[in-house]
Amino acid sequence: MPEPSNPHFEEAVRNSFAAQQLMATIGARLTLVAAGEIEIRVRFRPDLTQQHGFLHAGVVTSALDSACGYAAFSLMPDGVGVLTVEFKTNLLAPARGEELIARGRVVRVGRTITVCQADASMISDGVETSVATMLATIMMVRDRPDVVG
């Protein structure tokens, strides 16, 4: 893993995460911030479910997307913006249990494009089960932090 180029990367990640209002809405917490590695947890809540009573794929993907984006962002220089170009999620098992754990990590850092991978699991009665995996493409933007591409 390359060294982080922003010595204050943890603060930068935490500030940006705190500004994602969706994370508060779904009860997502940032439980690990390391260089190139992020963990986000979401407690099960009935209002986040799909038709069978498990966490909706959209919630799982929200956590995985943020985990990938911030894993990439943690290795970027100070002052740049981060954008998700695309992601793919494979759903592996129903997201049943008490808590979702989404762990993102950087696979490859490029000048503009960073590729990340993330896994989601559910804790149920103390046992962790894989429920999804994501492969994502993240982009660094220097001068237009709010525009994709």
Interface residues with a copy of itself (CB under 8 A)? 16-17, 19-22, 24-26, 46-52, 54, 56-59, 61-63, 65-66, 83-94, 107-108, 110-115, 117, 130, 133, 135, 137, 139, 145-149
Residue 108 exposed, middle or buried by CB count within 10 Å (0-12, 13-18, 19+) = exposed
C-beta closer to a copy of itself: residue 37 or 132? 132
To the nearest whole angstrom, how small is the minimum distance from the Cβ of residue 115 to a copy of itself?
5
To the nearest whole angstrom, how small is the minimum distance from the Cβ of residue 98 to a copy of itself?
17
Q: Are 40 and 30 in contact (CB under 8 A)?
A: yes
C-beta closer to a copy of itself: residue 90 or 127? 90
To the nearest whole angstrom, how small is the minimum distance from the Cβ of residue 126 to a copy of itself?
21
Determine the Cα–Cα distance for residues 57 and 38; give it in Å rounded to an integer.
19
Determine the Cα–Cα distance for residues 65 and 133; give it in Å rounded to an integer.
11
C-beta closer to a copy of itself: residue 26 or 71? 26
User: Tokens representing 122?
Assistant: 């559910």
Q: Are 147 and 127 in contact (CB under 8 A)?
A: no
Phi, then psi, of 56 in degrees rounded to 5 = -70, 145
To the nearest whole angstrom, how small is the minimum distance from the Cβ of residue 33 to a copy of itself?
15
